[in-house]
Each structure stands twice: as structure tokens, then as C-alpha cells.
Amino acid sequence: MRINTFVEKIRSFLNSPFFLGTVAILAFLTWLLPTPFYWIPATLYLLLGFLPLFGKDGRSYLLLFLGNMFLEHDKVSFSSLPFVSIVVGAALLLSLVIYLILHRPVMRLTPIFWSLLLLSLVFFSSYLYVAFREGNADIRSILYLLAFIYFLVIYLLLCSVIGNEETLPYYSTGVVFFSLIISFEVFIGILVNSGLGLATPSFSIGWSYTRETASTLLLLSLPFYSILIHEKKPYYFLLELFPIAAILLLSTNSGLSTFILFVIPLTILTLQNYGKYSNYFTLFILFGFAGLFGLLMGVNHDFNFRVGEAFGSLLYFGTRDTLRRQITSDSISAFLSNPILGSSITTFVQNDGTLRFSFNTVLSTMVMGGSIGLAAYVLYEVILYLDFAKKKNPAKWLFLLFILMVEVIGVIDNTIYNLTIYLFFLTSLCCFEMTSRPEDLQIHEDYFLRPQNKEE
């Protein structure tokens, strides 16, 4: 009885916001504390990764794997690998494998998995072709491709262990916690690097090598705030002000333009569930954001310039950003040099071990996989929206905004080929695909008891 009570308490903790908050706080402390003290919260995070073994399902792994991407406070690249994240990630993978052995869930090979696997194989083929042709292997390209496939395998395993119960509100709460710690990291990073004011182009907080990565993650967290607010939890709007403030302080091209484009539909869908007051709340919030943008553009010349540059970036060659124009031009030339298989991932590898993709997801795809890669990407897009259309969920249209935000950001910047954003996108897709689905068919065999002999 005592053991059962202990297990029930662990399960109650795993399914509560306290577990999600604990994971987020440990991730934040690991990022914040200096060497070697960060190993204390990192070790606790690692041990926390074995608690889902006692859970009824594996939903807790979603946030544990996602939070592992936010542990590093030093700049991360393929020349300086994130040691802490690798150690914690290995422990999480071990825990997940043990869970699979103990519970033996049905493997869920989703259509999205097959489409992304095909895209990965095209990228790998392009790399091998270029490497054999030029006689030059690049370890950083290989590490990136392996990481891309590894995250896809993690997505497959998470889809298999997530269980049958409603998971989206649970996952949304976890995303809220992580967006808050990212916001605080952004505030600290700006204060340390540039004082009061907007983030500079060289801004970095370690795991987010550039300000674009942090900005994109914060933007993509907003639909999950909306999912919770839509469920009559309006207090999440106050928490949402923190990531919005961080987005404005980062002031990236993709961040500002996407926020402006989506603030109206996001607000309308979020407040639909508030009856006769929804229109009043919608107008109040939209006028509030309009006034805030007008005030910032009026008093801050740098912010005014960045808003104009954000929409100018949609034109590519019409932008004043010479680096963006040069990278776009070089990417087009790289594709034309080998339009069938592309010039491979090595085109984007920099001397410092980082990868600088084109400022467009489709163009990056064409460079890494050529016309074949583009066809595989189109297939993935078709499957993504067909899969979405089949889904029945109260938060369906808010999640559609999440997908569309990924697409729009991908027009201006890199999205799913950034590994941190890629994992966030995959865990979100996994949660949406697996939530609110009919329970697995279970067959029970009931044996009839032999009737007793009347003589007995």
C-alpha cells in the first residue's frame, strides 16, 4: 500500500504544473550559474528525467527533452559541443528507452515522420554526393545531419509514449514556463551586454547563438498562451506580456513582422470563448498594442528603423541589409551550381563551427537538397496540412496559427533547420497529433467459468 501511495504521489507530481515549473527553474539555474556550480541543477534535472518511469504515460518527456536545449550559457556550435546538454540528453534517452522496455507501447509511425525522414535522406545523399565528388568530408556537416535525424527519432519515440489522454493543455503550460525563462534570460542578456535598450545584432545567450533563435521561440510560444486563455484562464495574458516584451526588445526582422501580422487573428481566436465580452476585450487589446507600437516608433528611432527593415526583409533584394542580400544571392548561386541535388549542407558551414542558413526555409532546402529536396519538402508540407485537416480539437485553429507562424518566419528567416526550433516544432506536432485521439483498441479475453456440478 505504501509503495502504491508513493507511485501515486509521483504521478500526481508529474501531471501537475509544479513538475513543469521545476523543470523550467532547473533549466534556468543551469544556464544562470557559473562553472562548476551549474552542475548542481543540471544533475537534479538529469535525475528528474527518470521520474516519468513511474507515470501512466510518457507526456513528461516532451518538456524534459525540450528544456534540455536551454541549459547552455556558453555559445554552442559544432566546434564547441554543448557538453551539459549532451550528458543530460543521454540520460533522458536512457530513461525513455527503459520506459519503452517496461511499457511496450505501440510504435506510431506517423506520415509526418516518413516525410521528414525522406527529406533527411535527401540531404544526406546530397552531402555524400558532394563529398565524394570533391573528396572532402566535413565533420560539422555530418554532426548536423545526424542531429537532424536524431531529433526525428526522438519525435517518433515521444509520439509512441505520450498516451491517450488530453495532453495539449499540459504541454501548453510547459511551453509557458519555458517562454518565461527564455524571456528572463533575454532581459539578463540585454542588461549585461548592452544595458537598457534594444538587443544588438551580436546578442547571444549561449544556447541561442543569435537573437533570431530566442525571438522565434518566444513568438511560437504565443499560440500556446492563447490555448490556455481560450480555456477561460485569462491570467495567462499577464504572463504573456513577458515574452511579448522580450520579442520587442530583440526586434528581429522575423519577430517584428510576424508579430504584427498575427496579433489580430491570434487575439480574435483567443477571445472567442468569452461570450458577449469578447469583442470588447479584442478591441481593447488591439488598440493597446497599436498604441504601444506607435509610442515606441515615435520615441525610439532605432525601433522605428527596425520595424521598417522587418517588412523590407520580405522583399529580400529590396532590404538595406547587405548581409541578407549577399547570403540570398550566394544561396541562389549554390543551388544553380547543382540544381538536382543541391550543393549540400556544407555550403552553410562557417569557420567557427556554426551554420548560417539562407534567410528562407525553401531556399535553404533547395541548397541542401536541390530540386529533389524541394519536392520532398513540398510533400512534407502537403502531409502536414492534410494531417491537420483530419484532426478534431477545440484548439485546432489556434494550432493552425502556430503552423502558419512557422511558415511566415521561414519566409524571412530560418526556422525548422535551426535544431532548437526544429525540436520545439516536432514536440509541438507530436503533442497535437497524439492528443484527443480515440483510445487504442484493446482486446480482453474473458474465460467462462465452468458451471459447478449440482451434485457437488
Predicted confidence (pLDDT) per residue in 387-408, tens digit: 888 888 888 899 999 999 999 9
In b/e form, how buried is each residue of 2-20, taking b as 16+ CB within 10 angstroms? eeeeeeeebbeebbeeebb
pLDDT, residue 436, reads 59
> Which pTM value belongs to this model?
0.90
pLDDT of residue 312: 76
Say if residues 435 and 168 touch (Cβ distance below 8 Å): yes
- Could you tell me if 212 and 252 are in contact, meaning their C-beta atoms sit under 8 angstroms apart? yes
Contact of 432 with 175, CB cutoff 8 Å: no
**pLDDT for residue 330:** 87
Low-confidence ranges of the chain (pLDDT < 70): 1-3, 314-321, 436-456
- Write out pLDDT tens, residues 238-283: 999 999 999 999 988 888 889 999 999 999 999 988 888 888 889 9
Q: What is the pLDDT of residues 345-354, one digit of tens each?
A: 998 888 877 8
Q: Give me the percent of the chain exceeding a pLDDT of 90.
A: 52
- Alpha-carbon distance of 270 to 364, in angstroms, equals 33
What does the pLDDT look like over 319-340, one tens digit per residue? 566 777 788 888 899 899 889 9
At 439 the pLDDT is 46
SS3 assignment, position 178: helix
